[in-house]
Amino acid sequence: MAVELRVLGDPPEEIGSAGRPARYLTAKTTSSKKRSSTP
């Protein structure tokens, strides 16, 4: 999961403070990867 957080560019501390669920982070990472793949 640490790698996914780095991909998003958000520090794990900030995410922990926000208290966002892991599912939300995973979904956000997936959409982020799709955007990167699409020119």
pLDDT of residue 37: 56
pLDDT of residue 10: 57
pLDDT of residue 36: 57
**pLDDT tens-digit map of 1-39:** 555 555 556 555 555 545 555 555 555 656 555 655 555
pLDDT of residue 30: 60
Number of domains in the chain: 1
pLDDT of residue 31: 58
Residue 12, domain extent: 2-37
pLDDT of residue 3: 56
Distance of CA 22 to the CA centre of its chain: 9
pLDDT of residue 5: 53
CB under 8 Å to 22, separation ≥6 — which residues?
1
Query: At residue 20, what are phi and psi to the nearest 5 degrees?
Result: -80, 140
